[in-house]
Amino acid sequence: MGNTTKIQVTLEQAHYERVVEIAEREGKKLAAVVRESIIRYCVDPEDRKRKLDAIHALEALEVPVGDYADWKRQYAAKKRGKQTTAPAAESTDDPGPR
């Protein structure tokens, strides 16, 4: 564990007894059950919310998305060291036959 801070929690007797039962049944210390409960109830949902917010923000971006098969072909060619750009088009500045 990194930096830790000790807290004190007051529970009704019935709630305390239930947490003790859970700790005994799971073979854990009481503090571990309380710590895991706080993480699951408070911390994890906030982390999930931040991640979902980030995903929604990314989805809202209007970014052009190319064809995956084309990308995969270009990536494979790049790994093999081949040029993937199409041949240069003929110049339109050419005056024609001489």
Q: What does the alpha-carbon distance between residue 31 and residue 4 come to, in Å, rounded to a whole number?
A: 13
Q: What does the alpha-carbon distance between residue 26 and residue 20 come to, in Å, rounded to a whole number?
A: 10
* Segments of the chain scoring below 50 in pLDDT: 87, 89-92, 96, 98
Q: What does the alpha-carbon distance between residue 22 and residue 34 come to, in Å, rounded to a whole number?
A: 10
Q: What does the alpha-carbon distance between residue 82 and residue 76 come to, in Å, rounded to a whole number?
A: 9
Q: What is the pLDDT of residue 1?
A: 67
Q: What does the pLDDT look like over 58-75, one tens digit per residue?
A: 888 887 778 889 889 888
